[in-house]
């Protein structure tokens, strides 16, 4: 997500791309922090990534329903496993 956002930084969706880059940096920093901080940060970042992907898809009229539903389910599963550990 971060690399795609950097590539498209000058597009019309500048704010969501900046948000994705900031979230990716925060997630990278969280990798070197405590496990609890990483868990909470990972959940927030995953949700933000999903929301920006959905809003960008709807805005660009290229919303692939099955793709985003699959990503949403996968994100929910990852969040479940994060809080399971």
pLDDT in tens, 12-50: 667 777 888 888 888 888 888 888 888 888 888 888 888
Which residues, at least 6 apart from 2, have a Cβ–Cβ distance to it below 8 Å? 20, 21, 24, 25
Reply yes or no on whether the pLDDT at 6 is more than 70.
Answer: no
* Residues 22/11, Cβ–Cβ less than 8 Å: no
How many domains does the structure of the chain reveal? 1
Q: What is the mean pLDDT of residues 52-77?
A: 79
CA atoms within 13 A on the CB side of 58: 7
| 39 contact partners, CB below 8 Å, separation of at least 6 | 82, 83, 85
Q: Find the domain containing 8 and state its range.
A: 2-84
User: pTM of the predicted model, to two decimals?
Assistant: 0.68
């Amino acid at each position: 997500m971060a690399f795609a956002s950097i590539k498209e930084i000058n597009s019309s969706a500048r704010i969501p791309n900046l948000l994705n880059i900031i979230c990716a940096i925060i997630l990278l920093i969280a990798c070197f922090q405590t496990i609890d901080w990483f868990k909470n940060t990972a959940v927030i970042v995953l949700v933000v990534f999903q929301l920006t992907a959905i809003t960008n898809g709807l805005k660009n009229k290229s919303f692939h329903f099955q793709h985003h539903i699959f990503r949403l389910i996968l994100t929910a599963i990852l969040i479940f496993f994060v809080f399971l550990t």
